[in-house]
Amino acid sequence: MRWKNWWIGIAVICGVPLVMEARPASAQVIKAGPASCPAVALTYDLCPVRTASGFDRELIDFLIEHKVPTTFFMSGRWMAKHNAEVKHLLAVPFFEIGTHGEVHAHLPMHDVEEQQQEIMGPVRFLKAKYGRSTTLFRPPYGEYNDVTVDAVKALGLRFILWNIESGDPDPALSAEAIVTRVQKRLKPGSVIVLHANGKGKHTREVTEALAGHLLPDKGLTPMTVSDLLRCNQSTSAPTP
């Protein structure tokens, strides 16, 4: 630790960018888009479920009906049980698909080979079975270490986290509590994590509130993660 601090001190003196010197891996983890972009990404994880349908059909119907650009992160175990639902989501042109691990493992507990297998399982499955290439990856539970970050980069994927945790799978949270929590943190470039596997009792209500008035009230529009990351940064510049 002292050794590291010594280097940080040198970096400060020399004016070297600290983040890159002190912790290069963290620079690969994307938590938000550009703050100058008047948009946010609504993202829904499809983590495996033991019981219940594992698919929030009303939520998906709402997103389709209102043409909301959305990004889904599918786990391999979820896909294996939801062939029709995978096809349904892949067929919607304004839906973007990323992956979310094979069995929803706690990645930091595994060595590099095991982490690579967990990360690549659903990527290969989507390509082999559905012909779809995906590059966005979100770690299960949002858990990772430097090995994970290096593996994701080496595998040619992009590491997508979030900067607003809705807390939607928590049965103790009411729709109002989730909306208040999200509203407080909402700003241009935000990436919001929710769930589409039916675990969130109020996910649809919260999504309706977001798309219906919370985002428009703040001058924000929903975008897929990829569009948000390449969002034209000059869009918020004042017009002459």
Binding interface with Zn ion (CB under 5 A): 45, 47, 140
With residue 182 as reference, give the H or E element that holds it: helix 175-185
The vertex-73 CA angle with 70 and 79, nearest 5°, equals 120
Question: Measured from the CB atom, is 106 or 213 closer to Zn ion?
Answer: 106
Place of tokens 């209500």: 205
Minimum CB separation from Zn ion for residue 45, in Å?
4
Minimum CB separation from Zn ion for residue 237, in Å?
37
Question: Measured from the CB atom, is 134 or 220 closer to Zn ion?
Answer: 134
Three-class DSSP category at 46: strand
Question: Measured from the CB atom, is 117 or 183 closer to Zn ion?
Answer: 117
Give CA separation, 238 vs 137, 188, 216, 231, in Å: 35, 16, 19, 16
Question: Measured from the CB atom, is 102 or 188 closer to Zn ion?
Answer: 102
Minimum CB separation from Zn ion for residue 103, in Å?
11
Three-class DSSP category at 188: coil
Minimum CB separation from Zn ion for residue 169, in Å?
9
Question: Measured from the CB atom, is 8 or 103 closer to Zn ion?
Answer: 103
Question: Measured from the CB atom, is 104 or 220 closer to Zn ion?
Answer: 104
| Residue 224 to residue 181: CA distance in whole angstroms | 21
| Residue 48 to residue 194: CA distance in whole angstroms | 14
Measured from each CB, the residue nearest to Zn ion is 47
Minimum CB separation from Zn ion for residue 89, in Å?
16
Minimum CB separation from Zn ion for residue 65, in Å?
26
Give CA separation, 41 vs 83, 155, 159, 194, in Å: 25, 24, 15, 11
Length of the chain: 240
